[in-house]
Structure 1
Amino acid sequence: MRYTEYHAGKAVIKDKSLLAEAMEKLARLEDAEEKDRLGQWIPCSERLPENAMNVIAQFSSGT
């Protein structure tokens, strides 16, 4: 089910009574997107790990 439509290039909810349901759908999509990214390598040029986060690093020397 589509909850949004576009007005002046911006997405708006079609039926405000379905806002809570639309937000739940968004949360599920975000969770699935995050789950897909777990276990993938992230280049340091993209972002650095958060403070106090355990990481696995590999250097060009192989260590």
Structure 2
Amino acid sequence: MAHSPDMPERFVCTNCHAIFAGTPEGQGDSADFRAPDTCSACGETAFVSIERFVYQHQNEGI
């Protein structure tokens, strides 16, 4: 039987909102995914799962 690959968990940088695919960890039928160590766009180290991300737009100067 053919194996279908897991959809990677996606993570959002809390600073610049860039989206990254998680890195698979562990072994077995379904992998756990972890966020990158740093954002390659801005250097931030804080990420949130895309399912938990809430975009809040701030109108600066209004």
Q: TM-score, normalised by structure 2?
A: 0.18
Question: What is the TM-score normalised by the length of structure 1?
Answer: 0.18
Name the structure where strand makes up a greater proportion of residues.
2
Larger C-alpha radius of gyration, 1 or 2? 1
